[in-house]
Amino acid sequence: MSRFSSLVNIKHSQLDFFWILSSKTQRGLHSFCGSLVINSRSMASASDQPPSDELSKDDKAEDKKSGKTEDQKELHEDKKSGKTKDQKEVPVDKKSEKKKDQKEVPVNAEGSSPSKYVTRGSSTLRQTKEEEGKKIKEKFLKLKKSEKRKLYKCGEDYTTLDDVERWPQHFSRKLAVDEKMSKWWKLNKKNVTAEINDNLNHKMSLFCGDITTLEIDAIANAANESLLGGGGVDGAIHAAAGPNLRLECELLNGCSGGDAKITCGYKLPAKYVVHTVGPRGEHPKVLESCYNKSLDLLKENKLTSIAFPCISTGIFGYPNLNAAKVALGTIRKWLEKEDYAENIDRIIMCLFLKKDIAIYDEQMQLYFPLDREETGNAAEEK
């Protein structure tokens, strides 16, 4: 009985094996035949395919028969190409990749900007600022003196040009009360190399006081490279002029050492501000350039008066005496050029520290020497 059972089991397992083998063979043959049919159909359709915009009725009928929808056909084609439906429907346009707010223009003629394009938004904003700033600037420049005086931060404590002594009057007054000036002259008159020029002497002034109170054509600002305000005289000028000065300075893109730029004075008694960036430390050529460039702007804008602070002294570290020599020497040479002095009414050296007052009282006698008889002190020369 057991032997018969084992024979039956063997027969069953053999039948199972042949059934599995036959089913696999059937599936393989099915697949092979199916691929032949598909390939033959695709070859036939490739040769007889009409233009894409004129789909034949037979193809439509076959699609309907096969149960395929248009979406399924597209999905099949997309799988072949590796694209999704969204990617296919939205073609990539390289030109459209640029932001809408970009304008394809170089920043400057040299193309030196790291960015090739300027955004239209930023350029429009700058243009708007410039237009608004221009209107405000024109409004202040057209104000009558009586109207502008109501806006001065210093109130009625302003100083007009007529209130500032010219150099000969200043020297005569000081000589009468300060014996040091007379003694210094006796010791140093041999060092005078400049010629006596009464015309130039009357164009120079020393003023001991606040530069932001001077009601003249222009005052010079000892600025930093940003032109956006700082400490000392720079901060005082910005505070007295009001916020519009900073707004105009923002559009100037800074200023390099030794250069100068001009702006409106706004609420200052002075009509204009000449911003110049002095050297840090003792660099005579750069300091000379500050005075020359500032005076050139005065001439270019047909202005007749300017006041200078002691540029680069203090925190910038230029020795006070040497800075005074550079300032006075440069101004003297500039006034001696062609007809430069003809259109200048006054150049004022604005002093605040006692040390600077003493230095300029002495150095002015060397660079702008006076005729002693003019001062009424000819007897002292004997």
List the single range of 30-39, 66-75, 247-256 with lowest mean pLDDT.
30-39
Question: What's the confidence (pLDDT) of residue 375?
Answer: 55
Closest CA to 323 of 266, 375, 283, 273: 283
Question: What's the confidence (pLDDT) of residue 130?
Answer: 86
The answer to whether residue 206 is domain-embedded is yes
The answer to whether residue 24 is domain-embedded is no
Question: What's the confidence (pLDDT) of residue 25?
Answer: 47
The answer to whether residue 97 is domain-embedded is no
pLDDT class of 354 with cuts at 50, 70, 90 = very high
Question: What's the confidence (pLDDT) of residue 183?
Answer: 85
Question: What's the confidence (pLDDT) of residue 76?
Answer: 52
| Distance in angstroms (rounded) separating the CA atoms of residues 222 and 297 | 15
> What is the value of pTM for the model shown?
0.67
pLDDT class of 31 with cuts at 50, 70, 90 = low
Question: What's the confidence (pLDDT) of residue 129?
Answer: 81
| Distance in angstroms (rounded) separating the CA atoms of residues 181 and 175 | 6
A 10 A CB-CB count for 124 gives 13
Question: What's the confidence (pLDDT) of residue 28?
Answer: 52
| Distance in angstroms (rounded) separating the CA atoms of residues 133 and 126 | 10
For residues 187-194, average pLDDT? 86
Domain count, the chain: 1
CA distances from 205 to 137, 274, 352 (A): 29, 18, 14
Query: Of 182 and 57, which is predicted with more confidence?
Result: 182
Beta strands in 121-213 (DSSP E): 159-160, 204-208
Question: What's the confidence (pLDDT) of residue 117?
Answer: 33
The answer to whether residue 46 is domain-embedded is no
Q: What is the gyration radius of the CA atoms in the chain, in angstroms? A: 45
Q: What is the pLDDT of residues 199-238, one digit of tens each?
A: 999 999 999 999 999 999 999 999 999 999 999 999 999 9
Domain containing 321 equals: 155-381
Residue 125 in this model has a pLDDT that exceeds 90: no
Q: How many CA atoms lie within 13 A of 344 on its CB side?
A: 29
What is the CATH number for 284? 3.40.220.10
Question: What's the confidence (pLDDT) of residue 110?
Answer: 33
For residues 150-161, average pLDDT? 96
pLDDT class of 338 with cuts at 50, 70, 90 = confident
The answer to whether residue 93 is domain-embedded is no
The answer to whether residue 339 is domain-embedded is yes
Question: What's the confidence (pLDDT) of residue 185?
Answer: 83
| Distance in angstroms (rounded) separating the CA atoms of residues 274 and 255 | 11
Question: What's the confidence (pLDDT) of residue 256?
Answer: 96
List the single range of 1-5, 69-73, 188-192, 196-200 with lowest mean pLDDT.
1-5
Residue 379 in this model has a pLDDT that exceeds 50: no
Could you give phi then psi for residue 118, rounded to 5 degrees? -105, 130
| Distance in angstroms (rounded) separating the CA atoms of residues 144 and 146 | 5
Percent of the chain whose pLDDT exceeds 90 = 55
The answer to whether residue 268 is domain-embedded is yes
Mean per-residue pLDDT of the chain: 78
Residue 66 in this model has a pLDDT that exceeds 70: no
Structure tokens at 343: 């259109």
Parallel, antiparallel, or unpaired: how do β-strands 272-277 and 218-223 relate?
parallel
Q: What is the pLDDT of residues 267-306, one digit of tens each?
A: 999 999 999 999 999 999 999 999 999 999 999 999 999 9
The answer to whether residue 250 is domain-embedded is yes
